[in-house]
């Protein structure tokens, strides 16, 4: 009995795959019927669904001190902090890697005078909340220097969140 059921499933799959183009079914149609699957998530899961926002989105000013930067990154536990201007617009991003590099370059006695603007990455790669999470993953991975965190901005470039590669991986779209 198990052989006949397996053969029936294989024939059913073959028929379904043959009829898909004839019926005009697309991967998007498949995603609507199977939203919890990998393909469904790749075509439906948005940055807004995974990003850290509000209280979970640490931000600092460009004039924040090195101690404030360390505190914000530590408190947020995201490995990065967004740098925003007085209008809330994204000015840059500082990652824990930027912190380590600053320690390596600057004398310990001078760290207390260091400001965020001196170690941040200006004009970072960013995403918007309505973008697909899978597209954000491609932005992170398909580049010369891979990145693991992206600022999320609205259409006015106001910083509204932070998206981590870790959160995308946990979502099940890989």
pLDDT tens-digit profile of 89-148?
Answer: 999 999 999 999 998 998 888 888 999 999 999 999 999 999 999 999 999 999 999 899
Note whether 36 and 19 are same-domain residues. yes
Note whether 17 and 87 are same-domain residues. no
Note whether 123 and 39 are same-domain residues. no
Note whether 61 and 120 are same-domain residues. yes
Note whether 11 and 55 are same-domain residues. no
Contact 59, 151 (CB under 8 A): no
Contact 68, 60 (CB under 8 A): yes
User: Whole-model pTM above 0.75?
Assistant: yes
Note whether 80 and 124 are same-domain residues. yes
Kind and range of the H or E element at 30?
helix 27-33
Note whether 35 and 110 are same-domain residues. no
Note whether 71 and 149 are same-domain residues. yes
- Confidence class for position 154, pLDDT limits 50, 70, 90: very high
Residue 85 confidence (pLDDT) above 60: yes
What residues make up the domain containing 20? 3-43
Note whether 97 and 34 are same-domain residues. no
Sheet with 121-122: list strands edge to edge: 59-60, 80-84, 90-95, 121-122
Mean pLDDT of 23-28: 72
Note whether 13 and 78 are same-domain residues. no
Note whether 74 and 7 are same-domain residues. no
Report the CATH number at residue 103: 3.10.580.10
Residue 172 confidence (pLDDT) above 80: yes
Residue 150, pLDDT score: 98
Domain count within the chain: 2
Note whether 61 and 138 are same-domain residues. yes
């Amino acid at each position: 009995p198990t052989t006949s059921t397996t053969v029936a499933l294989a024939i059913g799959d073959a028929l379904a795959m043959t009829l898909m183009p004839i019926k005009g079914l697309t991967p998007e149609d498949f995603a609507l019927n199977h939203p919890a699957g990998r393909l469904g998530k790749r075509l439906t899961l948005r940055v807004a669904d995974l990003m850290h926002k509000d209280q979970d989105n640490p931000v600092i000013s460009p004039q924040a001190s090195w101690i404030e930067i360390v505190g914000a990154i530590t408190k947020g536990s995201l490995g990065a902090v967004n740098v925003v201007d007085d209008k809330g617009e994204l000015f840059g991003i500082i990652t824990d890697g930027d912190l380590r590099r600053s320690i390596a370059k600057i004398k310990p006695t001078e760290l207390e005078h260091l400001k965020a603007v001196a170690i941040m990455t200006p004009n970072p790669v960013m995403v918007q909340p309505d973008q697909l999470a899978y597209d954000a993953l491609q932005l992170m991975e398909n580049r010369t220097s891979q990145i693991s965190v992206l600022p999320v901005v609205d259409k006015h470039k106001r910083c509204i969140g932070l998206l981590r590669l870790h959160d995308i991986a946990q979502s099940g779209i890989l």
